[in-house]
Chain A
């Protein structure tokens, strides 16, 4: 069963990587190679390049990534919940399992309101 499902996937992985690497190496072999110091400079508009680009950046990008993790982990909880939802309903526990998730989402909504009140999603 396992090999029947994921055997083809393994071959597909090999195929995808193999094709990407083959084209990369093949075109590197046939393409021209001419050295010119200016050509290998980093791109800049109209002026010559200075300084390293990897400096500080806005903390908002980082904040969004952190908040994303919060919501993504929550999605990981909700997905199995929705798969087994109908089975609980068949046992007559539909409202019970709905209430459980409502409590869980309620906690999340509190956090969400806190985030908005703190202005973490404010860009200006």
Chain B
């Protein structure tokens, strides 16, 4: 009895706490990594005083933001103004419960799964939950009753909506091969196939990656908060902890996007070449470590792109989505379906 209680209740709750805190810990790592890497790209030093190589800088920043005054200025819609940061952060944390952070580990007779929930429509749920953040953005921009947040929110919503479609279509091509939207099944099918889907479907992956960079409002698509044009975009009027929520949510969405790229296109917790017998020693390293290594690569890619490319213009951004990525992704699906109906 006590054993089943532990298995049914206590272990899931511990997992939920770990999975809930995981994006926030990754955010701290990312804030430090981004400032440091972008500084090196621009031949600066970046934060290097607080702790070893400045590693404690994000913690110090977070504590500072906790003690700041939370200003709700005059003329705002109070309810929406307060809901929107919570909504944005909530959606990015919740989506992680369907992402497998590792494989199944056998401890005695108990199978420890590295995911909170397994759902037959997991992929659809992740896409749906992560787009709740659009509401946070538009609520925040509209309720602020200020010009720059409103413009930033409008831009942001158009950008997120436009790039949502290529994401959905590029992810579809995975389903042709996995025949399932269950995230765990998708990784297991990649193991059976012996090849990560990213190498099998490079066009889908490139479309997915471009769209995801745009959807997380990152450079070179960071128009919603283009600081030289719109002050800070939709969160201009936010201060203190609410600003921190938007900031954390942006980075948490990057972690989520990298996790999706890893699980769908690069084998999740699997080591490279999972079926090659000569490389079976790679299975000694636990799946969670492989997953972490892979998402660190993609998070680094985000920063690398930001340090390398200049910002897009807004009409170019809309044109890229609607005239290039959407027709290309539709064609991609038809070609894959055509090939699959013969092979």
Q: Which residues of A contact B (CB under 8 A)?
A: 5-9, 11-13, 15-17, 19-21, 23-24, 26-28, 30-34, 39-45, 52-54, 57-58, 61, 64-65, 67-68, 71-72, 75, 78-79, 82-83, 85-87, 89, 94-95, 97-98, 101-102, 105, 109, 112, 116, 121, 123-124
Give chain B nearest CB distance to A39 CB in angstroms: 7
> What residue of chain A has the Cβ atom nearest to residue B123's Cβ?
A79
Q: Which residues of B contact A (CB under 8 A)?
A: 12-13, 15-17, 19-20, 65-75, 82, 85-86, 89-90, 93-94, 97, 116-119, 124, 142, 144-150, 154, 157-158, 161-162, 164-165, 168-169, 172, 175-176, 179-181, 231, 236-237, 240-242, 245, 314-315, 318-319, 322-323, 326-327, 330, 333-334, 337-338, 340-342
> What residue of chain A has the Cβ atom nearest to residue B91's Cβ?
A16
List residues of chain B with CB within 8 A of the CB of A12: 16, 19-20, 93-94, 97, 116-117
Given A75-B169, A79-B172, A40:B341 Cβ within 8 A: no
List residues of chain B with CB within 8 A of the CB of A19: 20, 93
List residues of chain A with CB within 8 A of the CB of B237: 42-43
Q: How far is the CA of A99 from the CA of B55 in the complex (A)?
A: 56
Given A41-B74, A65-B158, A95:B341 Cβ within 8 A: yes
Q: How far is the CA of A71 from the CA of B242 in the complex (A)?
A: 33
Give chain A nearest CB distance to B22 CB in angstroms: 12
List residues of chain A with CB within 8 A of the CB of B73: 39-42
What are 9 contact pairs spanning A and B, CB under 8 A? A16-B94, A20-B85, A31-B240, A31-B241, A42-B75, A57-B154, A64-B318, A82-B172, A82-B176
Give chain A nearest CB distance to B313 CB in angstroms: 9
Q: How far is the CA of A67 from the CA of B162 in the complex (A)?
A: 9
- Which one of A28, A40, A64, A87 contacts B74 once the chains associate, using CB atoms below 8 Å? A40
Chain B, interface SS category: helix
List residues of chain B with CB within 8 A of the CB of A13: 90, 94
Given A31-B69, A61-B158, A79-B172, A71:B326 Cβ within 8 A: yes
Contacts across chains A and B counted by CB atoms under 8 Å = 195
Given A8-B116, A124-B315, A61:B89 Cβ within 8 A: no
Q: How far is the CA of A6 from the CA of B169 in the complex (A)?
A: 27
Give chain B nearest CB distance to A51 CB in angstroms: 9
Q: Are A24 and B241 in contact (CB under 8 A)?
A: yes
Q: Are A43 and B240 in contact (CB under 8 A)?
A: no
Q: Are B236 and A105 in contact (CB under 8 A)?
A: no
Q: How far is the CA of A86 from the CA of B167 in the complex (A)?
A: 22
List residues of chain A with CB within 8 A of the CB of B231: 43, 45
Q: Are A30 and B340 in contact (CB under 8 A)?
A: no
List residues of chain A with CB within 8 A of the CB of B86: 17, 20-21, 24
Give chain B nearest CB distance to A68 CB in angstroms: 4
- Which one of B12, B157, B330 contacts A105 once the chains associate, using CB atoms below 8 Å? B330
List residues of chain A with CB within 8 A of the CB of B90: 13, 16-17, 20
Ranked 7 nearest A-B pairs via Cβ: A94-B341, A123-B315, A16-B93, A68-B161, A27-B241, A12-B97, A75-B168
> What residue of chain B has the Cβ atom nearest to residue A87's Cβ?
B179
List residues of chain A with CB within 8 A of the CB of B179: 83, 85-87
Q: Are A28 and B164 in contact (CB under 8 A)?
A: no
Q: Are B117 and A101 in contact (CB under 8 A)?
A: no
